[in-house]
Amino acid sequence: METILFQSITADDFFVKLRTIIKEEVKAAMMQDQLLTKEGAMKMAGISSAALIRAISEGIVKPQLIKGRKKAMYLESEILKVEKKRKQTV
């Protein structure tokens, strides 16, 4: 990687370029987030309907209403944050 001095750019120009790069990376990462139906979300995360409803009420997962669809959709990144509880065997 080249240094700032080698490129002979000012600090302000460097930060402008850095902000542009970060915005592009965040935009690309957000584009990869898939929308899932309730059934798909439960299957992907391995959680029950009750666990999904609990996550929605706690604010971890936010339902997305998409134009032209009757069911709510859920973001994959939010679904992956839901912790599944395992039964303890004695």
Pair 63, 38: CB distance under 8 Å: no
pLDDT tens digit sequence for 7-46: 677 878 888 888 999 988 877 776 677 888 999 999 988 8
Q: Which has the higher per-residue pLDDT, 82 or 86?
A: 82
Dihedral angle, C-alpha 58, 61, 66, 69, nearest 10 °? -80
Alpha-carbon span 60 to 44, nearest angstrom: 16
